[in-house]
Structure 1
């Protein structure tokens, strides 16, 4: 008698219900606490979260904002960037590393990225610096980070601000320093998919610069005086964190190291299984010990075929990012063409994110790896 095994369950990519299993009561408690305290925006829980992040990172100031993009927005405004200024930033990244520059009236100057890390290449960044350059804005991506020590040296040597888009990096140590602590200011994002995972959009600015922190605090709240209501020193933004979000994050922050440990273990399991498939499929650089693992992104030959095959196996994947920034319609006015940043363009053709989060069921990584092995070995 032949026994037919039931099909393996699918492996969703975001899988929100598993990511937040057991946290419903924490969300409800946060809502109840805020409602009963009559504190809703920029009050005691926000201040407590700022204090905890400052303590964890060693920053003199941590300023809570409404999103990671909001953090970049208020930093660039506080730095006084505007028309005629240039900011060197990677050609392969999420759009906010460039859009926040453009919204200041400044020019995002793209530089190519390193193929292994997908992060801003130090040599390319230095070559892009001109007499109009005011800042460097590198971004952490996926499981990796830029050469922050090298970029800090470049910024110091050329008298540039260094704004560290470490949105995915809270809890990581990079070149001997906590993520976000290498330059003028750093940012973190608490978007639900990020390693700490909030209950909605939120972000944080960290800096040791007293004047910059003061301006960021004003700019996040319509440029309002820090002590006198309805007195506005600057034209600012509504980039304020709410108390419910802060209350939930105060419950999540003590678990961050646990979340990161699981993410590192899952990434290493993927690496161990998939490394033999090179050069058809390349894994991220190993050595996850102090890194903040966000998304697990491989570089795959025949990516679209692989993605379609995995979908047929019930495995959901995501492409980060299908078009590099210099070829986005939003930046067509900068005049770039295909071939200007070849590494960024190659990554846009090859990168594929596999499911990875601490709530994954046991055996899910092996299921994904088995399917990928079947795809490539069947093609050889």
Structure 2
């Protein structure tokens, strides 16, 4: 039997009626965008995270764009961001006319550290954007202290981390603003793209609300206070997420259980493979990513046995053609480059059929035994 990586048909099979009910309810309500269900989801996320304000937007990338714009980040500003991340951590900075300043990451966690940020920070650095990846979190207390020390705005790219905690505090709540993504693959997946901004700054929240909706204030239509964006959450997505949000802890518990099972079995059967660090107790496990020698050969071997994997990320950001103008080359951020050669994501989601983890680990162990 094949083992697909995302396997959306299995993951959403039990939610089909909820999807249909959401479409029907919204279609009959005459409310389609930024109305009562969006407001209810904002209130629910704010309550869960302890944020004073939650602002629903169209995507996680849209959240970053809106936050950076609301903070006035633009030409002449540097923003420190990881060299190993999804592109939006840097592309949103570049689209504001600011300069992404890449920093290397820690090998074990793939996260920015205070030391790697200090190594590249400039006098023009106005903001810091650490990104959460996989099953790890940045050292947010240290990065918060660094940002305060240098008068930098701190934006948590916590897109994958709703429900996780860092040193006892909800992920996304150390920054001047944080954000979450509801892309279907995320732990609290929706039925389309969507995102949420969280902050305790009322002025920033007001500006974000205007920017997401073409600069309007939601009181007077067609009165545009700012040049904004169309980054609005629709009511169908919001209603579906409202129905799934009470299940988030259950989803995360199962994700952690599967990740620990992978860890235990891999350490015994294939110790050459480096598993995620820590006990995962507070992590919002999004993807299960290992560091694997002969990664590409292993991936091909698994594919030949019906096991689909993903590579996050095959090329670090400083070597992407889109950022060629920054003048970086191979060797500039060696840890990011090494991770791009070694990282491999194995299938993991709460609906993973019983026995799948054992099968995947057995095939990984067989690959390395054959190569020995």
TM-score normalised by structure 1 residue count: 0.97
1:283 aligns with 2:283: no
Q: How far did residue 126 of structure 1 move?
A: 1.6
Question: In 2, distance between residues paired with 1:98 and 1:340?
Answer: 17
Structure 2 unaligned blocks of 5 or more: none
Please list the CA deviations of residues 233-280 of structure 1 after superposition, one character each: whole Å capped at 9, or x if unmatched: 111000000000000000000000000000000000000011236663
Q: How far did residue 62 of structure 1 move?
A: 0.3
Task: Show the counterpart of 2:252.
Answer: 260
Question: In 2, distance between residues paired with 1:362 and 1:276?
Answer: 20
Q: How far did residue 131 of structure 1 move?
A: 1.0
Task: Show the counterpart of 1:149.
Answer: 141
The 8 Å contact of residues 268 and 286 in structure 1, kept in 2 or not, is answered as no
Please list the CA deviations of residues 85-109 of structure 1 after superposition, one character each: whole Å capped at 9, or x if unmatched: 0000000000000000000000000
1:158-197 aligned within 5 A: 158-197=150-189
Task: Show the counterpart of 2:286.
Answer: 294
Question: In 2, distance between residues paired with 1:192 and 1:263?
Answer: 15
Task: Show the counterpart of 1:27.
Answer: 19
Please list the CA deviations of residues 167-201 of structure 1 after superposition, one character each: whole Å capped at 9, or x if unmatched: 00000111221010001000000000000111110
The 8 Å contact of residues 158 and 172 in structure 2, kept in 1 or not, is answered as yes
1:18 aligns with 2:10: yes
The 8 Å contact of residues 78 and 127 in structure 2, kept in 1 or not, is answered as yes
Number of paired residues? 372
1:236 aligns with 2:228: yes
The 8 Å contact of residues 271 and 286 in structure 1, kept in 2 or not, is answered as no
1:52-131 aligned within 5 A: 52-131=44-123
The 8 Å contact of residues 63 and 217 in structure 1, kept in 2 or not, is answered as yes
TM-score normalised by structure 2 residue count: 0.99
Question: In 2, distance between residues paired with 1:277 and 1:364?
Answer: 15
Large movers: runs of 4+ above 3 Å: 276-279
Task: Show the counterpart of 2:357.
Answer: 365
Question: In 2, distance between residues paired with 1:275 and 1:120?
Answer: 26
